[in-house]
Every structure is written in C-alpha cells, then in structure tokens.
C-alpha cells in the first residue's frame, strides 16, 4: 500500500479557490472509494486555509490513477475543470506525505504559526473518516502519528506556550483598530456553531466579553450556547441584534452571504462604528461591507498578513521534531510492508516442512523418531530464516522492500501481492493425520510437542 496526498493551501492558491475546491468535501472519500479500485482509503482535511485529501493506493503503479480519480470527483462537485483542479493541488508521496501532515498538525503550515485549532481539526478529520468507513489502517496510523507529533511540538518547543491562533490574531487586530479596545464593553454577534465559533467564544470570554449573541442558519444556536454560553438569536431577531452590535464575527461559511446592503439597512440611523470579522473560508460577508461608512472589515487575508513571525530557534526545533517523526513513521510503514514478505517466506518454508513430515509419518507413524526428525527440521528452518529476516528489516529501513519481494519471486516463486499463493493455502494448518498408521489412523492427530528439546538416543 502507498500513501499520497493532494494539498491546496493558502500558501499556493487564493482562499476563494480553496473554498470552491472544498465544495462537497465530506462526500469525496466515500464517492472515490465506491467508484475507483485504485483508492483503498481516503481522509479529507478541510479548514479555513486548506483543502487536503490523504489517500492510500494499492501499489506505486496505482498512485497516478488514484490521483486522477480524486481530481475527477472534486471537479464534479466543485464545477471547476479537471485541469484547473489538478493545477491547484500539490501531490505528495512517500515520507513527504507524513512530513507535510505532521507540520500541518503542529501548526507550522498555518497562516498563524503554531496555531492550536488545527490539531483538533486533524483529529476530527480522522474521526469523520473512521465513522464513514473511509479511513484505511495506514491512514489511521498516519493521522494518529500526526496528533502525537503535534503534542510533542507543543510540549517541547516555545510554540506551544504562545497560544497564537487565527482567532486570537483577528481579535488583536480588532483591538488595534477599535476606538475602544476594551472587549468587556462590546456587544458581539457571532455567526456559526462550528469549531472556530467555539474557539471564538472562548477567546472573547478570555478578553472579558460577556455580551455574545449567536446565530445559526442550521438552528443549532440553542445547543451551542447551552454548552458554551451566550444568547441564541433567531432569524426574526437577527436584524435587531446586528443593529445594536459593536462587533460581528462570521464563522459559519454558509451559502447565505450577508451583503453590504443588508448591513447598511439594519444599521440605518446608527452612528456607532461596527467591526466585522470574517473568519469563514467562503466568506460570510460580502467584501463590499468594508467599503461602508463606519465599518471596518477584517478577513482571513488580513489575519495572514498580520500574523506575527515566530522565533527562528523555535521553528527550527519544531521542524526537526516533525522531520524526525515523519522519518520514523515512514520506517515503520516500510517495516510493516516487509512483514508480508517475511510471513510469505515463513509460510513457504513451513509448507515444505509439513510436506516432508507427512512423508516421515507415512513411513514411521507418530513415533519418537518422527518427533526427533521434526524437532531437528524445525530448528534448521529457524536458523535458515534468521538471515533473510534480518535482511528484510535492513532493506525496509533503506526503502528497498521491492528488491526483497523480487528476490522471493525469483528464488522461490513467492508472489507477496497475490493472496492465493501456495504459501497462503498452507498457512494455519490443523494437526495432520497419519497415513499408514493403522486402523482409524485417518481420523487421529499426531500429538507432537514441537518445542520440547530432543531426547538423547
């Protein structure tokens, strides 16, 4: 199995394109898995700054076909041509897959370096893929390793102590451009009930804000405020809430974008300034809102431009942790892939040994002599397999498992990729019967203790 990832982030394409590519993101894994055999598993990571698909292909030869299947599915949902979709994504394979995801989870690839929210989004992406049955075993291990690496970076570097986030930078910008930076005196209307909305409420409370109203077009505002605090706003009361607000924050990313004319209408007669913070990838507010009198607009682009640079030594330390973790994960993957080859070789030798012991028992029955022969043969097989097993581990560490598989095919005729080999057919055999061992011997099993030492003559 081979891992690959398709990555579109704020570093490569504009956020509007990222938002368009993300349309239908939750459906991509299940659709690809149902329609294409070159994809064995898929996990989608979609945030306000990125749209990434992590997938597993059966073989290296299937990687390009798997990528094409994913591109085609995204094109169908987004309405963007396959050529444009393809050019928007970078493709990673090998260790680069793990290194990129681990950097993302640790906040090293975020608009705000070291942000905390992304680690939770990585965990939720895996949970959702597991819930839909789209996550393969290798992808589960990849995302679990990413979460562990994020914790290590947070615990072992200064990035974990700064607590920077997109939300915190946005609110700091808001303080800087407000006539009154005191959040305890501000009335806030929040759109959305997702992860960023929850982080926003927590950040507002940390700054002393208590007047927080929450609106959700999906009707989840009541449940949201019940656990996080604030006041739920209905559609009927939204206009009044917006007319009295000092700050409006968008975190929903819904299709119902608020136009400048809507804001102008509900704010008619108001002379107080309004701060609008749009943290939704697909924009909750028309950018023209920022052109209205007495209205200041902060967007994700504003946050990215204002995000502080972190100390160079902290970034170097965090990057080293990520790189080492990615290398260790790739070595573990190679070792796991080599396990199938080792098992295949052991099953092959076991089948040869079993055949020889059948002949011995056919001639001598279940006797002490037969036991001695079997013990000696098994000890010899273990010794013969020692060096090939050690070499398998060494070649796995060098990324040369294909060389080992080719050698098994050339020397023994063992095809590791085919489950129907003779080695598989002889695996996990039940105790053998003893042909020629007397009346009723066909139904009797030979009670051999294979691990006991040989007896003296």
Evaluate whether 29 touches 56 at the Cβ level (below 8 Å): no
Partners of 285 in the β-ladder: 258
pLDDT for 337: 67
Which of the listed ranges 248-252, 396-400, 433-437 does the model predict with the highest average pLDDT?
248-252
Q: Residue ranges of the domains in the chain? A: 2-163, 170-306, 327-443
Select the more confidently predicted residue: 195 or 27.
Answer: 27
Catalytic positions are 48
pLDDT for 109: 87
Tokens for 81?
């041509």
Q: Which residues are annotated as a binding site for NADP(+)?
A: 192-197
Tokens for 45?
């990571």
Tokens for 143?
């995302």
CA distance 358 to 383: 22
pLDDT for 402: 73
Select the more confidently predicted residue: 286 or 453.
Answer: 286
Residue 304: CB atoms within 10 A of its CB come to 17
pLDDT for 417: 61
Q: How far is CA 56 from the centre of its chain?
A: 11
Phi/psi at 297 (5° precision): -115, 125
Instruction: pLDDT band for 432, please (50, 70, 90 cuts).
Output: very low
Q: Is the dihedral of CA 31, 35, 39, 41 positive or negative?
A: positive
pLDDT tens, residue by residue, 125-160: 999 999 999 999 999 999 999 999 999 998 888 776
Is the pLDDT assigned to residue 453 strictly greater than 60? no
pLDDT for 443: 36
When the pLDDT of each residue in the chain is averaged and rounded to a whole number, the result is 83
pLDDT tens, residue by residue, 8-24: 988 888 878 888 898 88
CA distance 130 to 126: 6
Q: What is the dihedral of CA 263, 265, 267, 271, to 10 degrees?
A: 120
Partners of 213 in the β-ladder: 189, 231
When mean pLDDT is compared across 13-17, 268-272, 421-425, 446-450, the lowest value belongs to 421-425
Q: Average pLDDT of 65-89? A: 94
pLDDT for 300: 85
Residue with the two structure tokens 């090998």: 94
Phi/psi at 433 (5° precision): -85, 170
Evaluate whether 152 touches 289 at the Cβ level (below 8 Å): no
| Closest residue by Cα to residue 132 from 32, 49, 215 | 32
Say which CATH topology domain 2-163 has.
Beta Polymerase; domain 2 (3.30.460)
CATH architecture for residues 170-306: 3-Layer(aba) Sandwich (3.40)
When mean pLDDT is compared across 32-46, 120-134, 280-294, 368-382, the lowest value belongs to 368-382
Is the pLDDT assigned to residue 360 strictly greater than 50? yes
Q: Which residues are annotated as a binding site for substrate?
A: 47-50, 110, 115-117, 121
Query: What does DSSP say about strands 2-9 and 295-299: parallel, antiparallel, or unpaired?
Result: unpaired
**Longest alpha-carbon distance in the chain:** 109
Is the pLDDT assigned to residue 77 strictly greater than 50? yes
Q: Average pLDDT of 365-385? A: 83
pLDDT for 164: 67
CA distance 67 to 53: 10
The residue count for the chain: 457
Instruction: pLDDT band for 370, please (50, 70, 90 cuts).
Output: confident
CA distance 109 to 433: 63
What single-letter DSSP state applies at residue 325? H
**HSE-CB of 175 using CA atoms within 13 angstroms:** 17
Q: Average pLDDT of 364-384? A: 83
Is the pLDDT assigned to residue 331 strictly greater than 50? yes
pLDDT for 418: 52
CA distance 191 to 180: 23
Contacts of the segment 392-398: beta carbons below 8 A, 24+ positions apart: 392/338, 392/341, 392/342, 393/335, 393/338, 395/338, 396/331, 396/334, 396/335, 396/337, 396/338, 397/331, 397/334, 397/335
Residue 118: CB atoms within 10 A of its CB come to 25
Task: State in Å, rounded, how far the first CA of the chain is from the last one.
Answer: 51
**Helix or strand (DSSP H, E) at 225:** helix 221-228
Tokens for 272?
């107080």
Q: How far is CA 394 from the centre of its chain?
A: 28
Rg (CA), the chain: 31
CA distance 439 to 137: 50
CA distance 346 to 385: 7
Instruction: pLDDT band for 422, please (50, 70, 90 cuts).
Output: very low
């Amino acid at each position: 199995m081979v891992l690959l990832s398709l990555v579109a982030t704020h570093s490569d394409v504009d956020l509007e394109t990222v938002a368009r590519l993300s349309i239908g993101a939750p459906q991509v894994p299940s659709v690809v898995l149902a329609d294409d055999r070159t994809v064995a598993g898929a996990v989608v990571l979609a945030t306000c700054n990125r749209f990434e698909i992590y997938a597993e292909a059966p073989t290296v030869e299937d990687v390009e076909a798997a990528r094409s299947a994913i591109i085609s599915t995204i094109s169908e949902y987004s309405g963007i041509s396959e050529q444009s979709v393809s050019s928007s994504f970078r493709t990673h394979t090998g260790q680069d897959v793990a290194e990129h995801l681990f950097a993302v989870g640790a906040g090293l690839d975020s608009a705000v370096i070291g942000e905390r929210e992304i680690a939770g989004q990585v965990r939720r992406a895996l949970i959702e893929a597991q819930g839909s049955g789209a996550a393969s075993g290798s992808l589960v291990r990849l995302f679990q390793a990413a979460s562990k690496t994020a914790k290590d970076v947070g615990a072992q570097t200064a990035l974990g102590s700064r607590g920077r986030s997109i939300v915190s930078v946005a609110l700091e910008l808001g303080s800087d451009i407000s006539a009154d930076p005191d959040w305890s005196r501000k009335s806030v209307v929040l759109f959305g009930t997702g992860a960023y909305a929850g982080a926003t409420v927590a950040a507002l409370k940390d700054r002393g804000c208590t007047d927080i109203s929450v609106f959700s077009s999906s009707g989840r505002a009541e449940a949201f405020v019940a656990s996080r605090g604030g006041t739920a706003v209905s559609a009927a009361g939204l206009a009044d809430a917006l007319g009295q607000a000092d700050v409006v924050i968008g975190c929903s990313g819904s299709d119902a974008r608020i136009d400048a004319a809507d804001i102008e209408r509900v704010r008619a007669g108001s002379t107080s300034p309004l701060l609008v913070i749009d943290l939704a990838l697909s924009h909750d507010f028309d950018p023209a809102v920022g052109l209205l009198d007495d209205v200041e607009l902060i967007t994700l682009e504003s946050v990215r431009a204002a995000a502080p640079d972190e100390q160079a030594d902290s970034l170097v330390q965090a990057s080293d942790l990520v790189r080492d973790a990615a290398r260790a994960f790739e070595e573990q993957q190679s070792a796991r892939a080599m396990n199938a080859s080792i098992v295949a070789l052991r099953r092959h030798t076991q089948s040869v040994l079993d055949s020889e012991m059948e002949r011995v028992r056919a001639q001598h029955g279940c006797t002490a002599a037969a036991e001695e022969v079997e013990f000696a043969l098994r000890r010899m097989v273990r010794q013969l397999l020692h060096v090939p097993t050690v070499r398998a581990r060494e070649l796995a560490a060098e990324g040369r498992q294909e060389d080992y598989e080719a050698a098994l095919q050339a020397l023994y005729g063992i095809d590791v990729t085919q489950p129907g080999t003779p080695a598989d057919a002889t695996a996990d055999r039940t105790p053998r019967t003893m042909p020629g061992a007397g009346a009723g011997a066909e139904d009797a099993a030979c009670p051999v203790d294979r691990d006991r030492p040989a007896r003296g003559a």
